[in-house]
């Protein structure tokens, strides 16, 4: 889950170009790696969350990704409780942005599905 060294590829960059040329309105992704934003995409719905957003399970203090992966042990908040990534885990409810994604999909003139086996 350590995505600190992941870099956008040619496809991420192509999608940025499409967005800049107003050919792409939104990216809906299940990826948790933030690569679309790192490439420069502005309108991204991360329906499974992001490893770049982390929070204390007790007091909800926010922590960045560097804090998580630079911790020597299990990352703990200053209040002493566990910090978890803001990602969707099996059995958890889908976030509100899922409904927004459905709205975008139902209104789309063209839909590009890429990088998935569509098996889950």
Task: Provide the annotated active-site residues.
Answer: 48
User: Are the C-beta atoms of 25 and 8 separated by less than 8 Å?
Assistant: no
Strand order in the sheet with 62-63: 62-63, 49-56, 83-87
User: Are the C-beta atoms of 39 and 24 separated by less than 8 Å?
Assistant: no
């Amino acid at each position: 889950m350590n995505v600190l060294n992941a870099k956008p590829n040619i496809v991420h960059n192509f999608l940025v170009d499409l967005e800049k040329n107003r050919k792409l309105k939104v990216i809906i992704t299940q990826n948790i790696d933030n690569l679309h934003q790192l490439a420069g995409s502005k309108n991204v719905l991360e329906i499974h969350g992001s490893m770049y957003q982390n929070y204390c399970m007790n007091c909800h203090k926010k922590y960045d990704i560097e804090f998580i992966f630079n911790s020597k042990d299990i990352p703990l908040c200053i209040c002493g409780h566990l910090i978890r990534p803001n990602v969707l885990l099996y059995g958890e409810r889908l976030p509100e942005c899922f409904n927004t994604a459905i709205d975008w999909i139902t209104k789309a003139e063209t839909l590009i599905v890429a990088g998935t086996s569509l098996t889950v």
